[in-house]
């Protein structure tokens, strides 16, 4: 009996345990540091628990990219990665879970509808899972343990349907499969927010970097624990603290102070949904050493030494401060509704202008979850996001229709960003599909933070790159404009026109925030104690949810 236990012990030790709070997940495949080793090399490290192969960056027509790790292909150009296939088997024999990550910051992927996504689920199952009937399997007979969705193109169509179909297919498999998603920290995420709210997801690798909600800024972990307990179809979803693995892995969010990180882990790990730490990426983590240990090993040590096993009820903070810096400009809210508002020369509407051609599925965010900030001193990274409605069709009417209700936190931090017309697209080594692909050059960044007991105070960071911007010439004029807008909103006139511009943000007569999506208004409830109204600060006027007690100052 004792001999049997002796032989079983190594097997038990190697088994992946989803209930642990000390798991480390890491992305591999993009060679972002230029020193990427084989997949098996990282799996042989005892600190690895989940490895995401990045990326399947083209679909529904399949296209893979693993930088320097795979160069052979089938006759149609689809990569054929026999060495990765062998390494997948090695990783799994060592108790690691290997997920294929779909998406990435650059790539050609999207679905036109749920039906197309459901059909693609079968393709994934047949090509990378236990399905059959395909002639080309990039990983030969190796079978991944599930799929990760690192979708970053602001198009959320089909992913919930895809995962639901995959879940059905998984029931015919011989092992347990996992689904994960990698949202940006602003909630809800523009690309996978719908997936997280409408399908069963096992892990959320939340990217607390290249955003205003980084750990060292307006950290919104409580917002995500609230999502886990009140929104997610999977009440046992595991939330991972997503971090860059070195200073060069992302534009912002890297934590070099291990004492600071230990304190954060101790604080947030009391949540029953805490799962561990997720890193971008393997090459960066192993090239970055602190006190003689690579960053990957340090993460495991931090978790094992500081995880709080006590379970507490998470609450959402009602106040936070976001300062204007050269790395990030955005706003804080339980549901992030970022409104970049600059008055035009005619000063006839307060609208949000975001650098995308249109609002996709009522979602608009500057498409740079990771923005390279090393190009020039004057480079400023912006991350903007608006709340999204889910699985709705555009109503063919100009009359206001409530499509969905989203609660916006009482933390209200407005941001105005002027973006110059220069955009630089960069690519990383080995033609990899990096998360760092877009550099924006803002002319000026105005960050406004509103506390319950004060009117907005603006701090300004200005770069040397010029841009044409028109603001109200006098503070009094701005205040009058805010009053005029609020009178317009109170009369139920929204923007005062029969049509609206995608991304435009106004208020309804009953205090809801309204955003134009595909020429129709989508309405969002403000949090308790707040209401939607226009307010001025200096020469600027903003429209968003703000504390109700301040509204009378702008009427």
Judgement on whether residues 480 and 365 belong to the same structural domain of the protein: yes
- Establish if 3 belongs to a structural domain: no
Judgement on whether residues 377 and 280 belong to the same structural domain of the protein: no
Q: What is the pLDDT of residue 344?
A: 35
Q: What is the pLDDT of residue 539?
A: 78
Which of 506, 542, 503, 496 is CA-nearest to residue 519? 503
Cα distance between residue 173 and residue 481, in whole Å: 62
Lowest mean pLDDT among 1-10, 311-320, 364-373, 426-435: 364-373
Judgement on whether residues 359 and 277 belong to the same structural domain of the protein: no
Cα distance between residue 314 and residue 44, in whole Å: 36
Under the banding of pLDDT at 50, 70 and 90, the label for residue 471 is very low
The residue segments making up the domain with residue 554 are 320-555
- Establish if 200 belongs to a structural domain: yes
Q: Does residue 327 register a pLDDT over 80?
A: no
Judgement on whether residues 341 and 208 belong to the same structural domain of the protein: no
Catalytic residue from among 37, 58, 136, 152: 152
Q: Is the pTM of this model over 0.75?
A: no
Q: What is the pLDDT of residue 25?
A: 99
Cα distance between residue 216 and residue 199, in whole Å: 31
| Distance, first Cα to last Cα, the chain | 81
Lowest mean pLDDT among 133-137, 172-176, 307-311: 307-311
Judgement on whether residues 338 and 280 belong to the same structural domain of the protein: no
Judgement on whether residues 139 and 69 belong to the same structural domain of the protein: yes
356-370 mean pLDDT? 34
Judgement on whether residues 54 and 165 belong to the same structural domain of the protein: yes
Q: What is the pLDDT of residue 74?
A: 98
Burial 432-470 (b: 16+ CB within 10 A, else e): bbbbbbbbbbbbbbbbbbbbbeeebeeeebebebeeeee
Q: What is the pLDDT of residue 292?
A: 95
Lowest mean pLDDT among 132-141, 305-314, 469-478, 511-520: 469-478
Q: Which of 306, 329, 347 is the last residue of a domain?
A: 306
The structure tokens 């760092």 sit at 436
- Establish if 85 belongs to a structural domain: yes
Judgement on whether residues 282 and 329 belong to the same structural domain of the protein: no
Q: Does residue 387 register a pLDDT over 60?
A: no
- Establish if 362 belongs to a structural domain: yes
Judgement on whether residues 333 and 282 belong to the same structural domain of the protein: no
Judgement on whether residues 328 and 436 belong to the same structural domain of the protein: yes
Judgement on whether residues 299 and 216 belong to the same structural domain of the protein: yes
Structurally, how many domains does the chain consist of? 2
Q: Does residue 96 register a pLDDT over 70?
A: yes
φ, ψ at 464 (rounded to 5°) = -90, 0
Burial of 120 (0-12, 13-18, 19+ CB in 10 A): buried
Render pLDDT for 206-229 as a digit per residue (tens, 0 to 9).
Answer: 999 999 999 998 999 999 999 999
Burial 5-39 (b: 16+ CB within 10 A, else e): eeeeeeeeeeeeeeeebbbbbbbbbbbbbeebeeb
Q: Does residue 242 register a pLDDT over 70?
A: yes
Q: Where are the beta strands (DSSP E) in 295-370?
A: none
Q: Is residue 540 annotated as part of the catalytic site, yes or no?
A: no
353-380 mean pLDDT? 34
Q: What is the pLDDT of residue 431?
A: 46
Q: Does residue 385 register a pLDDT over 70?
A: no
Render pLDDT for 138-190 as a digit per residue (tens, 0 to 9).
Answer: 999 999 999 999 999 999 999 999 999 999 999 999 999 999 999 999 999 99
Angle 159-170/114-128 helices, nearest 10 degrees? 40
Q: What is the pLDDT of residue 475?
A: 56
Whether 91 contacts 100, CB under 8 Å: no
Q: Which residues, other chains included, contact 476 with Cβ-Cβ below 8 Å and sequence gap of 6+?
A: none
Judgement on whether residues 161 and 243 belong to the same structural domain of the protein: yes
Pairing of strands 513-517, 505-507: antiparallel
- Establish if 312 belongs to a structural domain: no
Under the banding of pLDDT at 50, 70 and 90, the label for residue 280 is very high
Q: Which of 280, 306, 332 is the last residue of a domain?
A: 306
- Establish if 167 belongs to a structural domain: yes
Cα distance between residue 528 and residue 551, in whole Å: 14
Cα distance between residue 376 and residue 382, in whole Å: 15
Pairing of strands 178-181, 438-450: unpaired
Q: Which of 306, 332, 356 is the last residue of a domain?
A: 306
Whether 145 contacts 101, CB under 8 Å: no
Burial 498-532 (b: 16+ CB within 10 A, else e): eebebbbbbbbeebbbbbbbeebbbbbbbbeebbb
Q: What is the pLDDT of residue 476?
A: 66
Lowest mean pLDDT among 31-35, 69-73, 302-306, 333-337: 333-337
Lowest mean pLDDT among 189-203, 285-299, 317-331, 477-491: 317-331
- Establish if 152 belongs to a structural domain: yes
Render pLDDT for 51-61 as a digit per residue (tens, 0 to 9).
Answer: 999 999 999 99
Secondary structure string (H, E, C) spanning 366-399: CCCCCECCCCCCCCCCCCCCCCCCCCCCCCCCCC
- Establish if 4 belongs to a structural domain: no
Q: Which of 199-208, 415-424, 545-554 has the highest mean pLDDT?
A: 199-208
Supply the CATH number for residue 127's domain: 3.20.20.80
């Amino acid at each position: 009996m004792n001999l049997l236990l002796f032989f079983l012990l190594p097997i038990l030790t190697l088994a992946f345990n989803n209930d642990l709070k000390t798991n480390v997940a890491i992305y591999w495949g993009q060679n972002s540091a230029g020193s990427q080793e084989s997949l098996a090399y990282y799996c042989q490290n005892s600190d690895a628990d989940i490895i995401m192969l990045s990326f399947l960056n083209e679909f529904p027509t399949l296209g893979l990219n693993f930088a320097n790790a795979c160069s052979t292909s089938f006759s149609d150009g689809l990569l054929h990665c026999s060495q990765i296939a062998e390494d997948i088997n090695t990783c799994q024999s060592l108790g690691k879970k290997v997920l294929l990550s779909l998406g990435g910051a650059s790539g050609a992927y999207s679905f036109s509808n749920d039906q197309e996504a459901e059909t693609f689920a079968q393709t994934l199952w047949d090509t990378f899972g236990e399905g059959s009937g395909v002639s080309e399997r990039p990983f030969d007979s190796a079978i991944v343990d599930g799929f990760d969705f690192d979708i970053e193109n602001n198009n959320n169509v089909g992913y919930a349907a895809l995962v639901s179909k995959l879940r059905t297919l998984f029931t015919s498999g011989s092992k347990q499969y996992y689904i994960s998603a990698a949202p940006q920290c602003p909630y809800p995420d523009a690309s996978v927010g719908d997936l997280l709210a409408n399908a069963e997801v096992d892990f959320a690798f939340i990217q607390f970097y290249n955003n205003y909600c980084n750990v060292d800024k307006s950290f919104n972990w409580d917002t995500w624990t609230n999502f886990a307990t009140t929104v997610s179809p999977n009440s046992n979803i595991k939330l991972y603290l997503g971090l860059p693995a070195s200073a060069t892995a992302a534009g912002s969010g890297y934590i070099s102070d291990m004492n600071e990180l230990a304190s954060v882990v101790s604080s947030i790990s009391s949540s029953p949904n805490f799962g561990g730490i997720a890193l971008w990426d393997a090459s960066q983590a192993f090239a970055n050493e602190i006190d003689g240990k690579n960053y990957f090993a340090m993460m495991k040590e931090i978790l094992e030494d500081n995880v709080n096993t006590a379970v507490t009820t998470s609450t959402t903070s009602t106040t936070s401060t976001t300062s204007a810096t050269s790395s990030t400009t955005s706003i804080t809210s339980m549901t992030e509704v970022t409104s970049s508002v600059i008055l035009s020369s005619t000063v006839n509407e307060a609208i949000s202008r975001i650098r995308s051609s249109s609002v996709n599925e009522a979602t608009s965010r500057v498409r740079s979850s990771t923005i390279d900030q090393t190009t020039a001193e004057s480079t400023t990274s912006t991350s903007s996001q608006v709340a999204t409605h889910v699985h709705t069709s555009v109503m063919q009417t100009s009359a206001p229709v409530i499509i969905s209700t989203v609660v916006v936190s009482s933390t209200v931090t407005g941001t105005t960003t002027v973006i110059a017309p220069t955009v630089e697209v960069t690519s990383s080594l080995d033609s990899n599909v990096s998360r760092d692909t877009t550099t924006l050059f803002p002319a000026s960044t105005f960050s406004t933070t509103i506390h319950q007991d004060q009117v907005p105070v603006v701090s300004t960071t200005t770069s040397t790159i010029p841009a044409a911007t028109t603001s109200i010439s006098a503070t009094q004029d701005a205040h009058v404009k805010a009053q005029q807008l609020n009178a317009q909103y109170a009369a139920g006139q929204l923007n005062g026109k029969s049509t609206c511009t995608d991304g435009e943000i106004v208020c309804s007569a009953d205090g809801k925030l309204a955003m134009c999506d595909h020429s129709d208004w989508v309405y969002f409830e403000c949090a308790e104690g707040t209401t939607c109204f226009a307010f001025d600060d200096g020469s600027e006027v903003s429209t968003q949810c703000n504390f109700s007690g301040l509204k009378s100052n702008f009427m």
